Amino acid sequence: MTKTGNRVRNGLYRFVITMIFIGMFLVVAGIAIVIFWVTLRQTEKNYTLATILASLVVIALSIIIEALYETYRRWSIERPANHILYALERISRGDFSYRMELVHEWGAYDEFDQIKAYVNRMAEELSKHESQRSDAIADISHEIRTPIAVIAANVQLLEDPNIAQEARQQSMRVIVDACEGLANMIANILKLNRLENQKILPKHEFFDLSESLSQLILQLSDRIDAKGIELVCDIPEQTLIKSDRELLNIIWNNLLSNAIKFTDSGGKITISLKREGDEIAVAVSDTGCGIAPEAGQKIFEKFYQGDTSHKAEGNGLGLSLVKRVLEIVGGSIAIHSRVGEGTTFTVTLRAE
């Protein structure tokens, strides 16, 4: 039954109940009038006695009707309303496991059933968010604990006065790298939290996407050269787009950083930009380790890293940022990957 059908049915139900109570009051009035006239005839027009008897009958029947109405009101209104209030109180105290039992079957819900269904859905969503929050705290604690342990271990090594100079320099480099990784992770957590919990409106402006992408590639060229990776770019001279330049740079930076991270020396990274009609597609390909099919469904989750052998080079937040930015600016991302052969991420955006 549709919502409109439910409203019609419930409206008819209330109308019938109302008419029943109105009928009962009319019956009381009719009985009072009959008693009044019968008493007048039998008492030779004793208006006082007739009025008293009629009044007593009206009062008695009114009390009975009021008792019936109060019982109806308690069972049909107060009882479900108190049940809803009780459920909301438990949920407000953090008991997101509580669920309300619906009186009618689906398709025959009354208003209270609909409210209960929404309360149950709210509790379910809150339970999911609470679980995600707990998981996020656990993940953050684990990710922070690792670099701190590395820093602590190397500080202990540096406390040894007999440590060799080369080992001292190595420990200092490890500490610096761990501190940089920790700082980057915290920056990404704050950035992702800001993107997820605030309504961010993209700053739409026309700019040259080809130039913006090329500048970012130049900034990462030292890292690419240091690993001995071949870089192939297929970027036209000018590609205008109306979007948020800074938010899009988050996407390109994370996709390129991932490509560098998972591509070994002697591998190749290919970056292409194409416009077809009103859409612009940017593809970032690498010849790295690839992504297993079971991991492909999870790579956009926070802190998830399919290849733990590169764990020290990242914190699993980059693709979560990519996904959230695409939700804000409007766009999609597709993944094509084969284990041992490489991965291609293709981002599709509207030109305007």
Q: What is the pLDDT of residues 226-252, one digit of tens each?
A: 889 999 999 998 899 998 888 888 889
pLDDT of residue 283: 93
- How much is the pLDDT for 97? 83
pLDDT at 98: 83
Higher-confidence residue of 65 and 152: namely 152
Flag the least confident range among 99-108, 259-268, 311-320. 311-320
Output the pLDDT for position 310: 45
Which residue, 272, 258, 271, is CA-closest to 319?
258
Q: Which residue has the tokens 């284990």?
A: 339
pLDDT for res 202: 75
Residue 116 has pLDDT above 90, yes or no: no
**Burial annotation 177-216 (CB, 10 A radius, 16+ → b, else e):** ebeebbeebeebbeebeebeeeeeebeeeeeebbebbbeb
Predicted local distance difference test score (pLDDT) of residue 208: 93
Residue 65, CA atoms < 13 Å, CB-side half-sphere? 18
d(CA 254, CA 347): 12
- pLDDT confidence of residue 31: 76
- If one compares 37 and 340, the residue with the highest pLDDT of the two is 340
Distance CA(90)–CA(38), nearest Å, equals: 59
Q: What percent of the chain has pLDDT over 70?
A: 80
User: Which residues, including other chains, have CB under 8 Å from residue 24's CB and lie 6 or more apart?
Assistant: 65, 68
Single pTM value for the model: 0.55
The total of other beta-carbon atoms located within 10 Å of residue 287's CB is: 20
| Orientation of helix 245-262 relative to helix 209-226, angle to 10° | 30
List the beta bridge partners of residue 335.
Answer: 345
Average pLDDT (24-42) is: 73
Write the pLDDT tens digit of every residue in 271-318.
999 998 889 999 999 998 888 776 666 777 665 555 544 444 444 577
Query: For the residues 75-82, what does the mean pLDDT come to?
Result: 77
Query: Average of pLDDT values for 261-280?
Result: 90
Task: Give 344's pLDDT tier (boundaries 50, 70, 90).
Answer: very high
Least confident of 50-59, 192-201, 210-219: 192-201
Q: Averaged over 96-109, what is the pLDDT?
A: 72
Report the pLDDT value the prediction gives residue 299, as an integer from 0 to 100: 76
pLDDT of residue 1: 45
